[in-house]
Structure 1
Amino acid sequence: MSKQFLSSIFSFNQSFRRFSYKQVKRPSLNQLKDPNEKAANDKRPKPTLNEYLRAKISSIGPLTVAEYMKASLTYCDGGYYMNKDVFGRKGDFITSPEITQIFGELVAIWLLHEWQKVGSPSPLQIVELGPGRGTMMHDVIRVLSRFGLKDLLSVHLVEVSPHLSELQAKRLCQSSEPTKDERYYHMGETSSNIPVLWYKRIEDLPNGFSIVLAHEFFDALPIHKFQKTDGKWREILVDYNVDAKKYEFVVARKETPMLKLFLSHLDLDDEREHLEYSAEGHQILEHLSLRLEQFGGFSLVIDYGHDGTMTDTFRAFKNHEQRDPLMEPGSADLTANVDFKQMRKYVGKNDRMITFGPIKQLDFMKKLGGDVRIERLKESATPDLISQLQSGYDKLIDPNDMGSIYKVFSMFPSVLRKHLSKFPPTGFD
């Protein structure tokens, strides 16, 4: 990550005022304190998410979509992910690992096979970014333990939500406790004595050979939106209409700092007139590619996305239905499709990484032996369970649903190029 890139991001809020399309008012600065920092006076109530967003807009003008999205998802008290279980049939959406154990089992078989192909380096760090309830990792640990790897393993979870980290600890550990370590904030141990540690940032992960998993992680990272207006690129912002009492999209009148940064990364042959860009995702990919290049390892990314073909994908989900992303911030999941074309470009910088995919989840699961695994499970299942297993598996491979919507993408250090040209990653050959 270049210093110029980081300074552009960190100075964005300070310089953005002059790019606002309207006159701005300045409320009390106390309303604009970082909501995730402990207030000097604990007795003073923190502003609600709506109060925080409106005060910030009143102070500096319209927010970037990224600022709005990040606050809506991770604001200390009212953020969508911070204080409730949002997964499963009773939540707002359901993920592949929650539908059937076959998903996590096939992921485990894939990483086991690829680990063996590169010489089975030890010790082995399994990293997951945004682990949800910990369901997929639970299945991965179970499979790897059966193959005798438990003494080589350590599990490292990158999770910002206190509530979700508690759910993960209950799912994965026989015991766990918070820590005062500067790097990881929680630690535990599975029933088979595999250490599990929790981190706020990917930068705090320990050095060493790592297999990094990211399932429905990059889609939740804040995005900036850009649109061509009268032949010129402009950033889309979020404003609050006081008269209508609602948030709304507006177009920045001038070129914003983040737009300048994005244009420096824009492919000249890209003919789309509406684009989305995650600066946070870019930063994470830069760090991840450097880490895997230096210390060894590889990564598997599974998410809904596209290969540089889609435009406006920013949306919200509540009660398993799509809704307006600007309605009642904090009450729904905000998401945007992953642009795997951008991802491939970022990690391939300076010939750092080689990538495979994206391929359809349907193809990945079938090539990993999903059909065989479902039949094996059905052999010892009751009639009711057989029906449940089959319907869950069918949903994951449905070409008109999750089978095609979700894509699978992998990345390896370029030093393995010659090796992988002869023995491509399983499922991608």
Structure 2
Amino acid sequence: MWLVQSGRYLFGTAARIVTRGDHFVRNHCNGRVAPNWIIQPNSALFKSWPTLLKCQCFSSESQAEENSLVTPMMKHLMMKIKSTGPITVAEYMQEVLTNPVMGYYMHHDMLGEKGDFVTSPEISQIFGELIGVWFVSEWIASGKPEKFQLVELGPGRGTLTEDILRVFSQLSSVLSKCDISVHLVEVSPKLSEIQASILTKEKTELSENHSAYMQGITKTGLPVFWYRDLNDVPVGNSFYLAHEFFDALPIHKFQKTQKGWREILVDIDPHAPERLRFVLAPSATPTGKAFIHDKESRDHVEVCPEAGIIMQKLALNIEKNGGAALIIDYGHDGTKTDTFRGFRRHKLHEVLISPGTADLTADVDFSYLRRMTQGRVATLGPIKQQEFLKNMGIDFRLQVLLKNVSDAVTRGQLLQSYEMLMDLDKMGGRFHFFAVLRQCRFAASDQRTTQNSSTTVAGFDELLLK
């Protein structure tokens, strides 16, 4: 059985890479593609179209019942493919996750034990508190500007924002002269309602004439706004947060062949018309020509153009208006190959089965994010979550909490959550932190004009507790 490590934390069963026929489809551990992956196409409908990838992606231990389920999203995708031909993996992900009517994110509460996966903020309040401390530290290092906005991309249930705002409230004496507003970029109506219930006492729906679609006042007294697109968020001195956001953005997948790079597409299986399959485009696609460079040494590459566009926007605003960005996700620094996978009910789920019922995700390529800043800003990381949280003083914070707790059950829960966050075999090693800062943040000391400026960056350097 092939064991697969992933960023999402799974409850219970181990995952396995499955086979079709008598062939292993791939060895995920080293990213190599088996020679028998590529065969001749059998589809009469698309003779000039793709070479078939005889592969089946991740599956949970038992999916016999799910495999026979033709979801509304599956019907929608099949009609689309019959009309226009095979679609890219990016198109597939975008439809499955964010289709306004049937998209997975639009109507599901996928977080927590009853959802499909859990995240670090759901594990322990300490995680969010330390993120809050990081933003305050960067605000101080940038000279304590009189105004900033906290912008979170994909806030989940709002738990992380809630923990950060609690820190802001506890440090009100430090932030008293600063005008702070909260801006949440969220496409899911379901999740935005949950966020509002957690963060505010009441909220107001806004008309289409406003850039935001909802607003309110947080329980700590700060104005909060919701947007469907980052472009709608006001520009200004901004601290951006993206926790498990980039991993869900649509990716294009490419395979190196004897004829050069070919994009992987999604098609209908002619032998099983209620199933989908992966195929290879017959020739190079414009996306491949634009994003695969000649020196690429890997034989399989995943590219996320949308992530690049977002990074360019963040870098431009930080360069011009100040602020910083903290990106937290599972990923790599330009080394991994095939990482596309699905999650349902805390188990790995085959990505082409029952679309619309499971989360789809791929590891973030931090080297690509770094390149997309185009040198406008400085970047730090990626570093492992364990290192970042330790530098931020998680051990000190844990001891403070333990001293204030007497019952054994709560102490055990604190220790268990600490282990989950810090263990290198769990979240501590799977998640990485990546920071985007202004270039002047690292200017020579004799060129710095701000009294509070420092070249030390909390989390990426050890935080000195006084």
TM-score relative to the length of structure 2: 0.79
Q: Match of 2:256?
A: 228
Give the distance between the partners of 1:223 and 1:182, measured in 2 at CA: 31
2:302 paired with 1:273: no
Gaps of 5+ in 1: 1-19, 25-46
Q: Match of 1:255?
A: 284
Matched AA of 1:221: L
Report how far residue 427 of structure 1 moved: 1.9
| The one of 126, 137, 149 aligned to 2:150 | 126
Give the distance between the partners of 2:135 and 2:385, measured in 1 at CA: 16
The answer as to whether partners of 2:48 and 2:282 remain within 8 angstroms in 1 is: no
| The one of 220, 240, 243 aligned to 1:212 | 240
Q: How does 1:66-105 map to 2 (within 5 A)?
A: 66-105=90-129
Q: How does 1:138-157 map to 2 (within 5 A)?
A: 138-148=162-172, 149=175, 152-157=179-184
Give the distance between the partners of 1:242 and 1:205, measured in 2 at CA: 45
Pick 1 or 2: higher relative contact order, CA cutoff 8 A, min separation 6.
Answer: 2
Give the distance between the partners of 1:219 and 1:354, measured in 2 at CA: 22
Give the distance between the partners of 1:128 and 1:415, measured in 2 at CA: 24
Q: Match of 1:246?
A: 275
- CA deviation map 1:346-372 (0-9, x unaligned): 11x1x2011000000000001100011
The answer as to whether partners of 1:179 and 1:187 remain within 8 angstroms in 2 is: yes
Give the distance between the partners of 1:424 and 1:376, measured in 2 at CA: 25
Matched AA of 2:203: S
Matched AA of 1:216: E
Report how far residue 123 of structure 1 moved: 1.1
Report how far residue 92 of structure 1 moved: 0.6
| The one of 50, 54, 59 aligned to 2:78 | 54
Q: Match of 1:391?
A: 416
| The one of 150, 153, 162 aligned to 2:189 | 162
Q: Match of 1:9?
A: none
Q: Match of 2:440?
A: 415
Gaps of 5+ in 2: 1-44, 50-70, 446-452, 462-466
The answer as to whether partners of 1:155 and 1:194 remain within 8 angstroms in 2 is: yes
The secondary structure found in structure 1 opposite 2:456 is: coil
Matched AA of 2:351: P
The secondary structure found in structure 1 opposite 2:443 is: helix
Q: Match of 1:294?
A: 320
Give the distance between the partners of 1:426 and 1:70, measured in 2 at CA: 35
Report how far residue 231 of structure 1 moved: 4.8
Q: Match of 1:425?
A: 457
TM-score relative to the length of structure 1: 0.86
Q: Match of 1:43?
A: none
The secondary structure found in structure 2 opposite 1:128 is: strand
Give the distance between the partners of 1:402 and 1:427, measured in 2 at CA: 16
Aligned positions, number: 383
The answer as to whether partners of 1:21 and 1:252 remain within 8 angstroms in 2 is: no
Matched AA of 1:223: I
The secondary structure found in structure 1 opposite 2:214 is: strand
Report how far residue 252 of structure 1 moved: 0.3
Identical pairs, percent: 46
Report how far residue 77 of structure 1 moved: 2.8
Q: How does 1:367-378 map to 2 (within 5 A)?
A: 367-378=391-402
Give the distance between the partners of 1:105 and 1:419, measured in 2 at CA: 31
| The one of 113, 137, 162 aligned to 1:113 | 137
Give the distance between the partners of 1:414 and 1:339, measured in 2 at CA: 22
Report how far residue 221 of structure 1 moved: 0.2
* Structure holding more helix per residue: 1
- CA deviation map 1:283-326 (0-9, x unaligned): 11111111111111110000000011100000001111112111
Report how far residue 75 of structure 1 moved: 1.5
The secondary structure found in structure 2 opposite 1:126 is: strand
Q: Is the alpha carbon distance of 1:319 and 1:419 closer, same or farther for their aligned partners in structure 2, counting shifts above 3 Å?
A: farther
- CA deviation map 1:103-149 (0-9, x unaligned): 00000111111110110112110000000000000000010111113
Report how far residue 418 of structure 1 moved: 1.4
The answer as to whether partners of 1:208 and 1:296 remain within 8 angstroms in 2 is: yes
Q: Match of 1:27?
A: none
2:317 paired with 1:317: no
Report how far residue 22 of structure 1 moved: 4.1
Q: Match of 2:40?
A: none
Matched AA of 2:260: K
Q: Match of 1:28?
A: none
2:87 paired with 1:63: yes
